[in-house]
Amino acid sequence: MKQITVAIAGQPNVGKSTLFNLLTGSRVLVANWPGVTVEKHEGFTEYKGYRIRFVDLPGVYGLSALTLEERISRSYILSGEADVLVALVDSTIPERTLYLPVQILEMFKKVVIVFTKYDLAHKLGLHVNLQHLEKRLGVPVVAVSARSGLGVSFLLDKIIEVAEHGGRGDYLRVDYGELEPFINSIESKLSGCGALAGYPLRWLSVRLLEGDAELARVVSEKCGSKIYEEVEEIRGEAKRVVGSDLAAVASSKRFAFITSITSESIVRLRLQQPTRSGSIFYHPLVGPALSILIVLSIFILAFIINTGFPLNVILSALGYRELAEEVEALSLSNLMSTSLGWLQELARSHIANPVLASFISDGVIGGVASILIFLPLIFMVMLILSIVEDTGLLPRMAVGVSTLTSRIGLSGNALFPITISMGCNVPGVFGARASLSSGERLRQILTLPLIPCQARLIVLLALATALKTLGGWLLVFLGYLTAFASFAVLNYIFYKLSREKEPVPEMLLEIPALHRPLGRVVWWMTWNNVKHFIAKAGTIIFASSIIIWALVSLTPGLTYTEDASASIAASLSRFLAPAVYPFQITGGKAWIIVFGLLMGLIAKEVFISSVITVSGSPSFTDAISSIGLSDPQIVAVGVFITLYMPCLATISAIYSETRSLKLTLLSIVLSITVAYAASTAIYYLILVL
């Protein structure tokens, strides 16, 4: 079967994910672009005897190598790996979104242009003469609508046609007006350099004139510094003659070219403005209030489904104790741990060899369990985020909160990773990519692990049940309060230390029109992110579970033991017992808390089960009282657990995002320091009060 490789390019919000999903269905491979952490999606479809491979290029506004995404897209297009490029135009804002396809046509010949959201544009009274556009651009122009599926098979036909018979004979020529003489002289200099054979020379010349640093480097490497210096000379001359920013002139010529085509081929019948709903978010008071309200209600709902909290607490406070227990029993995490406990029991009772039985039930099933425990929550968080993102609500919320977040050196875009981190820090750390500057991204990666995730909520709730006189809500409240306060303070300090030139972190964000989410796309985005979590974090969590099993099941003499208090981990914890002295937790059983903290590195909620196991108590409350913790100590431990160190999965996420051992270590040291400072302060504060 003949294979065709098709790259899909489009600006953000033009409906690229939707089209990609429509074309490939669920057969999608997710990988990273070589050497970077930007996700690469690939999908396949079979059509009329062809196997078509679709590569989803990152959403970019242009191809100036301004961002990592633009560099990836540009070098992929230049690599020639794609047989055909599908360039997307948003039919509702055609002039703006034609900018990228025009840039592509200047450097690539086999292109199919797709007008997305065609039905929506029709409703707005916008009509496009596709044939005329085809004539002017020299490549097929196809209209599609994801909602109705209109135009998809026609698009596939055109892709095959272009792959087989070629697109344009030459590259698109945009009239650059006063820049033309300079473009021509650069081009003639470059044509003397054989190493550039195969490069679209005119495009290259325009880009060099615009001051493209990356391409300048390519030219000086391939053609030597002499040609490069000559090009720089022409550029200097152009600056003097034209007298304004050359990149601005080039961009405005491209837009002038676009307008010259669209004025002939696009008709607006009724002058219906797109709806302005959602501008309420721009209000400086209503915006943040509404945004935070939305985020909170979303997460409270997710919390209730996952752990029963806070509905169970509210119900029991109102006197409906039975109903509260019912809610808790039906929560996803409880259902999950019940069924996994049953499975572990089954393994233990059916495997004769005690070492193997323990390995299978505690190591393997336990390891799988610690991944699965996260799944429902991550799934829900991703689902909700996909909906908020797909409807266009998220960017509005980012604008809404930006006045607040800018105080601690973060742009409004930070709402996104902060919110996910409340579910799980791992996707939160990945979500820091939404930030505008690399400095802000780094600050987010280092501080996001302080945001309490669901696992830490579970530990806080368990500790709350062990309190004797203090109210459980106080512990949960203090845990979240100190976590968010440390997050804010650290960000503020880092921001001040980094001394960036910009007075406030800048927002530069397109806000797409609000629209109804498309079920298929939401599902697809959700599932993709969940798979990403399983692949990235799951393997690390699983491997470390096996290692932990060994530490807990083997004595220092490397013989198998069922008594965890005789294990390597226990000896290590006894050695590290002074770690909890700051909370005046001393005595023979202090090491159990240290043991729990060590185990909690796999995933924070493992603290609960490991403390129960080594103390030999039937329940967590019994375990805590057998260790003899006072209420202030329980609160201090709760706050400490919330902050003390990112779990292994988060640490691995930090490493894979920063690719720096130093920064990963910094985040660990940082969180331990913050944890000690905050929890000892709270401990003595409660003692004094």
Partner 1 sequence: MLTLDLAKPGSKVRIVNIDGKGWVQRLYQMGLLPGSIAEVVANYGVGPIVLRVMGSEVALGRGIARRIVVEEVKEG
Q: Which residues bind partner 1 (CB under 8 A)?
A: 61-62, 64, 66, 92-93, 95-96, 99-100, 244-245, 247-248, 251-252, 255, 274, 276, 279, 282-284, 287, 395, 398-399, 402-403, 406, 411-412, 502-513
Rounded to a whole number of angstroms, the minimum distance from the CB of residue 223 to partner 1 is 25
CB 463 within 8 A of CB 637: yes
Q: How far is C-alpha 413 from the geometric centre of its chain's CA atoms?
A: 12
CB 174 within 8 A of CB 151: no
Residue closer to partner 1 by CB (options 410, 598) is 410
Cα-based distances in Å from 245 to 2, 63, 660: 47, 18, 37
Rounded to a whole number of angstroms, the minimum distance from the CB of residue 99 to partner 1 is 6
How many Å apart are CA 470 and CA 678, to the nearest integer? 19
Rounded to a whole number of angstroms, the minimum distance from the CB of residue 284 to partner 1 is 5
Rounded to a whole number of angstroms, the minimum distance from the CB of residue 54 to partner 1 is 24
- Going by C-alpha positions, the residue among 678, 669, 676, 680 that lies closest to residue 446 is 669
Residues 96, 99, 104, CA angle at the centre, nearest 5°? Answer: 155
Residue closer to partner 1 by CB (options 226, 407) is 407
Rounded to a whole number of angstroms, the minimum distance from the CB of residue 500 to partner 1 is 10
Helix/strand/coil for 77: helix
Rounded to a whole number of angstroms, the minimum distance from the CB of residue 66 to partner 1 is 5
Residue closer to partner 1 by CB (options 505, 646) is 505
- Going by C-alpha positions, the residue among 445, 446, 450, 453 that lies closest to residue 424 is 453
DSSP E strands: which ranges in 121-170? 126-128, 141-143
Residue closer to partner 1 by CB (options 245, 563) is 245
In the numeric block, the tokens 């009329």 are attached to: 48
Please name the residues in contact with 588: beta carbons below 8 A apart, sequence gap of 6 or more: none
In DSSP terms, 40 is beta-bridged to 31
Residue closer to partner 1 by CB (options 238, 590) is 238
- The DSSP code for 225 is H
Residue closer to partner 1 by CB (options 363, 395) is 395
Residue closer to partner 1 by CB (options 48, 499) is 499
Rounded to a whole number of angstroms, the minimum distance from the CB of residue 73 to partner 1 is 13
CB 200 within 8 A of CB 107: yes
Segment holding 258, helix H or strand E: helix 246-265
Residue closer to partner 1 by CB (options 273, 353) is 273
Cα-based distances in Å from 88 to 30, 230, 233, 340: 21, 37, 37, 47
Rounded to a whole number of angstroms, the minimum distance from the CB of residue 294 to partner 1 is 17
Residue closer to partner 1 by CB (options 95, 622) is 95
Rounded to a whole number of angstroms, the minimum distance from the CB of residue 194 to partner 1 is 31
- The DSSP code for 150 is B
CB 545 within 8 A of CB 366: yes
Residue closer to partner 1 by CB (options 294, 624) is 294
Q: What one-character-per-residue DSSP string does 541-600 give?
A: HHHHHHHHHHHHHB-TTS-B-S-GGGSHHHHHHHHTGGGGGGGT--STTHHHHHHHHHHT
Structure tokens at 289: 């209030």
Rounded to a whole number of angstroms, the minimum distance from the CB of residue 411 to partner 1 is 7
How many Å apart are CA 643 and CA 174, to the nearest integer? 56
Rounded to a whole number of angstroms, the minimum distance from the CB of residue 146 to partner 1 is 19
Residue closer to partner 1 by CB (options 213, 689) is 213
